Structure 1
Amino acid sequence: MRELIESICTGFTEFDAAPWESDVDGPIGWPGYGEARRRAEERTGERESVVCGSGKIGDVEATLLVFEFGFLGGSVGRRTGDRIEAAFRRARELRTPVVSLIATGGSRMQEGMAALSQLQRIAREAALTRAAGLPQVSVLRDPTTGGGWATLGAGADVVLALRGAQVGFAGSRVRPPGDDAAYTAESQLAHGHVDRIVEDLPAELGRWLSLLTRPAHGAPEPPRHPHGTPLPETGWDAVRAARAPGRPHAEAYLDEYFDWRENISGDRCGGVDPGVLCGFGSRGGRTIAYAAQCGTPTSPAGFRTAARLIRLAGRLGIPVLTLVDTPGAANDGAAERAGAGPAIAETFAAIASASIPVTTLVIGEGGSGGALAFAAPGHTWVTADSYFSVTSPEAAAAILKRPPEEVPATADQLRLRPQDLVALGLAQGIV
């Protein structure tokens, strides 16, 4: 564990912690508990299953909570809770982000409910730190199970994991047999509960802390069009330009706009939408968050991930850029069962209640409410090869019982061209 600290951190200073009386058998008098602790101390050189302190990761001062799995399986007991609570309080005093390097099997059985109740203490301290506007990053080591996963791990703003780590609420000895693959970092990433599998932990932690602690000031300016394009003459021309295979998509805009960036992943409800890119990017040394549609129908997971990003950016004081490009919200049965309506409502609410500036650029298709949910009222710009419409021309024609050959004329009547949107006061300008 000490080697891990040295590999990611410089100038680490451990916080003071009261020692445990090793001849005491704990709060419920578990036979031999004091002796088990004494052996754990001899084996690891530590007095408890977590070490807390401060140091620099990259060029950002941070508070670290580092678990020693060799000490009673990294389990959480009463004194572990004491240390973690004190560390969170110290982080709020120092105004530093909190990084939790977790390796734990869960709560300590030898302390009974006195151990399990520490999860409530940890959750409260994490909530107070969140309310103070300080970022929390967790690193899931092998294993991260039980209450450590369900508090410090899954409750962090950004969740990173080491490849191959066992991650799950149920540990290997208590879960049903037959589905071990579900309890891995890779599975948690695939199902929206982990943001990234890290390969170079010191470098990636440094990048994340840099992004989360250096917010830009004021509203982001909209990105430039990577290539430039003429304005469409008709509504149908606008639709065709927005659907053209060769026009730039979200990644081209983000790569042009940011010096470098990091994505978050997943809605924390079991879903990932690869057609929505969310994360934080550095532009001129300051951080702007982004939520970008990539031209596909947006699923409930995509809306929830965007809402998660906007809420997180708001807590950290980071302005947000959104890019609109979708034919509309996914509307199949699977999307309805996954909560399309509530997820869209969540995104509308996140932007409507945002305490930080949100700037929107429509870069392609703006299909109905699924696109509008990503747009900031009064702060929306459009590109020349985009459109925004109450619904697609094809859907409008079908609703009005018009034949397919009238779809182009319907597009003209919808007044969905970029210049129409500016004239209607729905867009501030054409980039």
Structure 2
Amino acid sequence: MTAAVTGRVPARELIAAVARGFTELPGRAGAAAVNGPIGWSGYDEARARARERTGETEAVVCGIGDAGGTEAVLIAFEFGFLGGSIGEATGERIENAFITARDLGLPVVSLIASGGSRMQEGMFALTQLQRIARQLVRLRAAGLAHLAVLAGPVTGGGWATLGAGADVRVALPGAQVGFAGSRIRPAGADPRAYSAEGQFAVGQVDEIVPARELGPAVARWLALLTRPAPGPVPPPAALREVPPPESGWQAVTTAREAGRPRAESYLAAYFAERAPLGGTDPGILCGFGLRDGRSVAYVAQCGTATTPAGFRAATRLVRLADRLSIPVLTLVDTPGAANDAEAERDGVGAAIADTITAVAGCRIPVTTLLVGEGGSGGAVALTSPGHTWVTPDSYYSVVAPELAVAILKRGPDQVPFTADELRLRPQDLAELGIARGIVSV
């Protein structure tokens, strides 16, 4: 693609990069009134110049194409047409594209290069964001996926609707991405905050994709979002064989061993291919994976205390998978939820509540494997009632034995005894019906 660094790639070049066999949907050329709906002086001439310069009749081109084996509705912005701005005719074309997607049961791919609402149409332009938002809601209700490609610049209403409102967001390197455009942001503002890389760092972009790899990336994401595996999925096999722990404290110390297999190893063994979603808690991994050619969503804790940001990432994944009817695998391994002052200020209780209710409210099956420590509320938030298995080197407890001793005002020497009382061993969990069984190698 040309101009990949600046992001000002022509709409039809973006379409050609991700799809073949493109059939354009009809759309009107623009406002019939002289100088648009509010009579902006010179608007007709500006639109005429834009048509001559780009060869397009509006700032967006919509149609149906084959994106790597998945038929999809494509919405491609032409930045050369008045900065890819959104006016009434643009909104109408986008609305019709979403209606077509729902009628045909197809996912949507938005290829975005837009400066936001078209100033020359005043409030008529701004209300197009509500029009687009309504279609986003209806697409979600229909259980259809929406992938956004942030070709850049993507600012204002283009970012705050089709971009940030998409299920998955990928961006070209160096693309400008942010609500405030370069001409209106505060003086001295950090430009990185308004970039694809800056948005990726804070979890608002899921993947940075080089221009030459955009087609395969779109094909991969569409396959993951549209081809669900039958559920519930089986739990992963254990990655090491250990004898049943003789005591509760032995179960705890075995689960805490530095060399024990972690979530990353289980995911690598379970999936042929994975695509992660963005997030800012390195202790939790979320995304979609292919298993036997079908898609499974995953949330995996990595053995650290889960932060509010981690729970929010998990909630996003679970709710998205539920809406797209993709079964979920959760791997539980945490000493508990983060409980420092920063976590409290960031709303850890509310974040846990959102995650546990997302799992509880899932219409699609959720499979849980406890692969290490199962510490209190941090673990239960991602545990599926009735579909939980445990590995031989794990434990699951209402509270860690050391904390239980503190709560009960017992001495430190009572930790092993208290661990036994908690019935937290893998075999205890299976006997009590908390787990369906212990997985083997």
TM bin, normalised by shorter chain, reads over 0.9
Aligned residue identity for 1:275: G
Tell me the percent identity. Answer: 65
**Which one of the candidate residues 169, 172, 176 is aligned to 1:162?**
172
Q: Which residue is equivalent to 2:424?
A: 416
Q: Which residue is equivalent to 1:269?
A: none
User: Does residue 1:237 correspond to 2:263, yes or no?
Assistant: no
Q: Which residue is equivalent to 1:187?
A: 198
User: Does residue 1:293 correspond to 2:301, yes or no?
Assistant: yes
Whether contact under 8 Å (1:22, 1:35) holds in the other structure is: no
Distance in 2 between residues matched to 1:20 and 1:335, nearest whole Å:
50
1:5-51: CA deviation from partner (whole Å, max 9, x where unpaired): 11211101110112337883100111110000000011011110000
Secondary structure of the 2:98 match is: helix
User: Does residue 1:255 correspond to 2:264, yes or no?
Assistant: no
**Which one of the candidate residues 53, 57, 61 is aligned to 1:51?**
61
- The aligned runs of 1:112-261 (5 Å cut-off) are 112-179=122-189, 180-199=191-210, 200-261=213-274
Whether contact under 8 Å (1:22, 1:38) holds in the other structure is: no
Secondary structure of the 2:36 match is: coil
Distance in 2 between residues matched to 1:370 and 1:228, nearest whole Å:
26
Aligned residue identity for 1:216: A
Q: Which residue is equivalent to 2:7?
A: none
| TM-score in terms of structure 1 length | 0.97
Which segment drifts farther, 159-168 or 37-46? 159-168
Aligned residue identity for 2:118: R
Q: Which residue is equivalent to 1:375?
A: 383
Distance in 2 between residues matched to 1:50 and 1:291, nearest whole Å:
36
Distance in 2 between residues matched to 1:135 and 1:158, nearest whole Å:
9
Aligned residue identity for 1:127: V
Q: Which residue is equivalent to 2:415?
A: 407
- The aligned runs of 1:47-126 (5 Å cut-off) are 47-126=57-136
Aligned residue identity for 2:170: L
Secondary structure of the 1:64 match is: strand
* CA displacement at 1:218 relative to structure 2: 2.2
Whether contact under 8 Å (2:31, 2:89) holds in the other structure is: no
User: Does residue 1:313 correspond to 2:321, yes or no?
Assistant: yes
| TM-score in terms of structure 2 length | 0.95
Secondary structure of the 2:37 match is: coil
1:266-297: CA deviation from partner (whole Å, max 9, x where unpaired): 3xxxxx21111111111111111111111000
Secondary structure of the 2:94 match is: helix
Whether contact under 8 Å (2:229, 2:294) holds in the other structure is: yes
Q: Which residue is equivalent to 1:357?
A: 365
Structure 1 portions without partners, runs of 5+: 267-271
Q: Which residue is equivalent to 2:277?
A: 264
Whether contact under 8 Å (1:54, 1:61) holds in the other structure is: yes
Distance in 1 between residues matched to 2:90 and 2:296, nearest whole Å:
36
Whether contact under 8 Å (1:59, 1:206) holds in the other structure is: yes
Structure 2 portions without partners, runs of 5+: 1-9
Distance in 2 between residues matched to 1:347 and 1:421, nearest whole Å:
23
Distance in 2 between residues matched to 1:238 and 1:304, nearest whole Å:
30
Whether contact under 8 Å (1:250, 1:293) holds in the other structure is: yes
1:122-145: CA deviation from partner (whole Å, max 9, x where unpaired): 000111011000000101122100
Distance in 2 between residues matched to 1:123 and 1:20, nearest whole Å:
21
Distance in 2 between residues matched to 1:142 and 1:214, nearest whole Å:
29
* CA displacement at 1:103 relative to structure 2: 0.6
Q: Which residue is equivalent to 2:337?
A: 329
Which segment drifts farther, 63-72 or 190-199? 190-199
Distance in 2 between residues matched to 1:22 and 1:168, nearest whole Å:
32
**Which one of the candidate residues 14, 18, 30 is aligned to 2:24?**
14
Distance in 2 between residues matched to 1:100 and 1:166, nearest whole Å:
16
Distance in 2 between residues matched to 1:357 and 1:153, nearest whole Å:
29
Aligned residue identity for 1:251: E
* CA displacement at 1:4 relative to structure 2: 2.0
Whether contact under 8 Å (1:23, 1:35) holds in the other structure is: no
Distance in 2 between residues matched to 1:21 and 1:315, nearest whole Å:
36
User: Does residue 1:345 correspond to 2:347, yes or no?
Assistant: no
Whether contact under 8 Å (1:11, 1:56) holds in the other structure is: yes
Which segment drifts farther, 190-199 or 365-374? 190-199
* CA displacement at 1:119 relative to structure 2: 0.4
Whether contact under 8 Å (2:31, 2:88) holds in the other structure is: no
Secondary structure of the 1:112 match is: helix
- The aligned runs of 1:14-53 (5 Å cut-off) are 14-20=24-30, 24-53=34-63
Whether contact under 8 Å (1:23, 1:34) holds in the other structure is: no
RMSD over aligned Cα atoms: 1.1
1:200-223: CA deviation from partner (whole Å, max 9, x where unpaired): 211111100001100111201000
* CA displacement at 1:229 relative to structure 2: 2.1
1:302-356: CA deviation from partner (whole Å, max 9, x where unpaired): 1111111111111101111101000000000000000000000001100111000
* CA displacement at 1:158 relative to structure 2: 0.5
Distance in 2 between residues matched to 1:165 and 1:19, nearest whole Å:
28
Whether contact under 8 Å (1:289, 1:321) holds in the other structure is: yes
**Which one of the candidate residues 396, 402, 407 is aligned to 1:394?**
402
Whether contact under 8 Å (1:361, 1:380) holds in the other structure is: yes
Whether contact under 8 Å (2:31, 2:37) holds in the other structure is: no
